[in-house]
């Protein structure tokens, strides 16, 4: 009963994840999952591990996976932290690295989990407005008097899909060496350039990635961070205080096989990128204004139609997209790039709705 709740719990506004309805024949374009399944090699590896081996605890440091990530990104395993989805990795970063004595800065339109973590860990924050084109303005993140207690933003940003070039990321990181800058690269493999290369030069940069999107393993819950070993040690200290295993045995073998299947990764990400470009063109031909996207989703608005009503009309036809009731973006729909057939169904439905 709530009279027993601590003050922290009263202050929390729970994060509302995208819904996962269980309708048959659903065209599910609302939570940015990958439309093609994971690498068959990942599924084989998980099947093989689903055996007597599950009697045994997993490797408490997930060394095999850290090695595989290090090889793929040309870094050392000491620069890698792994966790149950990038959400958990981010949670540890908020607790361990984003200083609590000065406000954390992040864009006002961004991943809605960030303010939730702040509530959970008692972190004060300041949001920074996106510019008139819903893009991050790097200059706004350079110290102008008061230094930040930390900076975090997704690149590409979510839910806009807009990408900041690496040179802009570097300016932000170089200009804020008194604090940690976290770049959340959940969607970077769909046309962005990772800031991992910059971690060799900037000990204040933490790059977070996930296996949920470009590796199509959202159900396995694997994410990781790359940064200077000092930052990684801070994350490890938080994890070790929970006495938790970073990943279970199935997740470790599945993620290793997925990251080693470079060919499948390239082919399926390229397929999503091609479909995205077609989807942008088709939406534009129906009169939508579509932001440039470097992600596996697009952000679009119709100048003459209410986005909430469009989403409701689509839902009647078992097509679900994401609509945010948030100032400045309430007229946008965020649409995950599905297969060609799914996007074709969406465009067909919209054509009918728009008349």
Q: Which residues contact 94 (CB under 8 A, 6 or more apart)?
A: 104, 117, 118, 120, 121, 123
Q: Of 348, 334, 336, which Cα lies nearest the Cα of 301?
A: 334
Tell me if 194 contacts ligand PMP by CB under 6 A: no
Please name the residues in contact with 48: beta carbons below 8 A apart, sequence gap of 6 or more. Answer: 253
Q: How far is the CB of 24 from ligand PMP (least distance, A)?
A: 25
| 107 near ligand PMP, rule: CB under 6 A | no
CB closer to ligand PMP, 199 vs 336: 336
Work out whether 184 is an interface residue with ligand PMP (CB under 6 A).
yes
Among 154, 161, 254, 338, which residue sits at the site for ligand PMP (rule: CB under 6 A)?
Answer: 154
> 108 is written with which tokens?
């006002």
- Pinpoint the alpha helices (H) of the chain: 7-10, 40-49, 63-73, 85-97, 113-121, 166-174, 229-241, 249-260, 262-285, 307-316, 340-354
Contact with ligand PMP (CB under 6 A): which of 70, 218, 271, 318?
218
Q: Binding ligand PMP by CB under 6 A: which of 39, 79, 86, 214? A: 86
Question: Which of residues 150, 161, 223, 338 is near ligand PMP by CB under 6 A?
Answer: 223
**Smaller CB distance to ligand PMP: residue 115 or 344?**
115
- Please report whether residue 214 would count as binding ligand PMP according to CB under 6 A: no
How many binding residues for ligand PMP (CB under 6 A)? 12
Residue 99 to residue 88: CA distance in whole angstroms: 18
**Residue 210 binds ligand PMP (CB under 6 A):** yes
Enumerate the β-bridge partners of residue 210: 223
User: Smaller CB distance to ligand PMP: residue 69 or 186?
Assistant: 186
The residue among 207 and 310 lying less far from ligand PMP, judged by its C-beta, is 207
- Tokens 């060799």 found at: 200
- The answer to whether 296 contacts ligand PMP (rule: CB under 6 A) is no
Among 204, 212, 214, 342, binds ligand PMP (CB under 6 A): 212
DSSP 252-267: HHHHHHHHH-HHHHHH
Least Cβ distance, residue 174 to ligand PMP (angstroms) = 23
Interacting residues with ligand PMP (CB under 6 A): 85-87, 111, 154, 158, 184, 186, 210, 212, 218, 223
């Amino acid at each position: 009963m709530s009279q027993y709740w601590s003050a922290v719990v009263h202050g929390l506004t729970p994060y509302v994840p995208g819904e996962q309805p269980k309708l048959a024949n659903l065209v599910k374009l609302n939570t940015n999952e990958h439309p093609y399944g994971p690498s068959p090699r990942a599924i084989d590896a998980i099947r093989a591990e689903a055996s007597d081996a599950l009697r045994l605890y997993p490797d408490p440091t997930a060394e095999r996976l850290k090695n595989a990530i290090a090889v793929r990104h040309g870094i050392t395993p000491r620069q890698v932290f792994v966790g149950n989805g990038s959400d958990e990795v981010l949670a540890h970063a908020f607790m361990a690295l984003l200083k609590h004595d000065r406000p954390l800065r992040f864009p006002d339109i961004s991943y809605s989990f960030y303010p939730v973590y702040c509530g959970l860990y008692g972190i004060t924050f300041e949001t920074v407005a996106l510019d008139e084109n819903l893009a991050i303005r790097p200059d706004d993140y350079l110290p102008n008097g008061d230094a930040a207690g930390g900076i975090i933003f997704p690149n590409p940003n979510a839910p806009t899909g807009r990408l900041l070039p690496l040179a802009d990321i570097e300016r932000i990181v170089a200009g804020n060496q008194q604090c940690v800058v976290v770049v959340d690269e959940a969607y970077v493999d769909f046309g962005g350039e990772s800031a991992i290369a910059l971690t060799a030069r900037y000990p204040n940069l933490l790059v977070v990635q996930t296996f949920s999107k470009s590796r199509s393993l959202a159900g396995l819950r694997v994410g990781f961070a790359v940064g200077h070993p000092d930052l990684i040690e801070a994350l490890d200290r938080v994890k070790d205080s929970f006495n938790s295993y970073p990943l279970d045995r199935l997740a470790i073998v599945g993620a290793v096989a997925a990251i080693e299947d470079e060919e499948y990764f390239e082919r399926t990400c390229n397929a999503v990128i091609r479909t995205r470009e077609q989807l942008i063109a088709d939406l534009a031909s129906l009169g939508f204004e579509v932001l440039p996207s470097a992600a596996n989703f697009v952000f679009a608005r119709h100048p003459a139609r209410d986005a909430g009503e469009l989403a409701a009309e689509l839902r009647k036809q078992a097509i679900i997209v994401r609509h945010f009731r948030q100032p400045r973006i309430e007229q946008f729909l965020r649409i995950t790039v599905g297969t060609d057939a799914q996007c074709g169904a969406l465009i067909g439905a919209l054509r009918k709705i728009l008349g």
